[in-house]
């Protein structure tokens, strides 16, 4: 996929970060920390509050970088306002909000397993609606990567998978999965010629407008943030790294390598989740972790190094 819609250079603070696979790896690292934090803070920060303040912080960081482009590029945004609104609702308003709600009701094993289906959902929707296809070796990479995720979440035992059952939290997570898959595919229709920082700021404004009534309802129900140093630091992390930097990196990488390959990197989340748990929770990795990580990296290697095939216009 070509670079249409991207400026000739990145913001100064990100100018040295160009390689799309590095950007995707950093993004999944940030988002893995977000999932761990979302579970850790669920008793202190209600899900809609976390989603709202995450994006409020991200918007504060985006505005100084986006404002210089607004006057000259506003006509481009206005001309494609329907696409901008849809992407803002899916990527900012829906995905993390649905995931945060789901994590209040479903076990972590279920959530990670369901989240790992994002690449499959993205590839399937790309095939169904855009007539995009992967070569045989790329499909092999997808299967290996998914097998690696399954090995980790099943803890090396198939009976663990057999014991999983869907609950209301799983349904919220499935909603998040398809919201993100649609967002990833929809990025190719983003307004061309709009600076990516301005575009992300527009998505964030739209997402916050959608979240504001839901956040107000949550507060009215008596569910408020338990203010502490830990909860405030956690909210700040979600706004700066998964929200601000993560979305900039992901959007740029999708423009470079396409939706199908970019989404495959979400299979790294169980890998990073395992490593973060070892560092911060003193949970020692087991042999099945190493097997799963090896399969995931093998799958990503096969898919990202395969020679591209010609696709239908």
| Contact between residue 118 and residue 178 where contact means Cβ atoms under 8 Å apart | no
pLDDT in tens, 127-143: 777 766 667 776 777 77
Find how far residue 113's CA is from the centre of its chain.
Answer: 15
| Contact between residue 50 and residue 235 where contact means Cβ atoms under 8 Å apart | yes
The widest CA-to-CA distance across the chain, in whole angstroms, is: 58
pLDDT in tens, 165-219: 656 777 888 889 889 889 988 888 888 889 989 999 999 999 999 999 999 999 9
Residue 11 in domain = no
Structural domain harbouring 297: 18-305
Q: SS3 for 304?
A: helix
What would the mean pLDDT of 86-102 be, rounded to a whole number? Answer: 91
What does pTM read for this prediction?
Answer: 0.76
Number of domains forming the structure of the chain: 1
Residue 3 in domain = no
Structure-block tokens of residue 18 = 């160009």
Residue 311 in domain = no
The DSSP symbol for 308 reads P
Cβ neighbours for 303, distance < 8 A, ≥ 6 positions apart:
134, 137, 138, 141, 142, 145, 261, 264
């Amino acid at each position: 996929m070509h670079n249409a819609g991207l400026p000739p250079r990145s913001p100064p603070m990100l100018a040295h970060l160009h390689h799309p696979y590095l950007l995707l790896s950093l993004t999944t690292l940030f988002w893995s920390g977000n999932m761990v934090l979302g579970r850790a803070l669920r008793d202190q920060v209600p899900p809609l509050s976390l989603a709202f303040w995450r994006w409020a912080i991200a918007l504060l960081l985006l505005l100084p970088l986006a404002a210089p482009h607004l006057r000259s590029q506003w006509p481009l945004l206005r001309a494609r306002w329907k696409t901008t609104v849809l992407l803002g609702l899916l990527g900012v308003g829906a995905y993390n909000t649905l995931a945060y709600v789901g994590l209040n009701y479903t076990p972590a094993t279920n959530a990670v397993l369901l989240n790992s289906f994002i690449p499959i959902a993205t590839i399937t929707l790309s095939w169904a609606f855009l007539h995009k296809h992967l070569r045989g070796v790329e499909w092999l990479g997808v299967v290996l990567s998914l097998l690696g995720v399954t090995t980790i979440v099943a803890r090396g035992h198939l009976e663990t998978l057999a014991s999983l059952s869907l609950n209301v939290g799983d349904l919220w997570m499935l909603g998040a999965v398809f919201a993100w898959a649609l967002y990833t595919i929809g990025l190719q229709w983003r307004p061309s010629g709009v600076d990516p920082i301005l575009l992300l700021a527009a998505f964030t404004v739209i997402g916050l407008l959608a979240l504001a009534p839901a956040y107000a309802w949550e507060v009215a129900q008596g569910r408020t943030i338990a203010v502490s140093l830990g909860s405030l630091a956690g909210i700040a992390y979600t706004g700066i790294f998964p929200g601000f930097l993560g979305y900039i990196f992901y959007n740029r990488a999708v423009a470079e390598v396409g939706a199908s390959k970019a989404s495959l990197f979400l299979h790294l989340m169980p890998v990073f989740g395992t490593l973060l748990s070892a560092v911060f929770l003193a949970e020692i990795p087991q042999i099945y972790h190493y097997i799963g990580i090896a399969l995931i990296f093998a799958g990503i290697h096969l898919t990202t190094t395969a020679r591209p095939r010609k696709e239908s216009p």
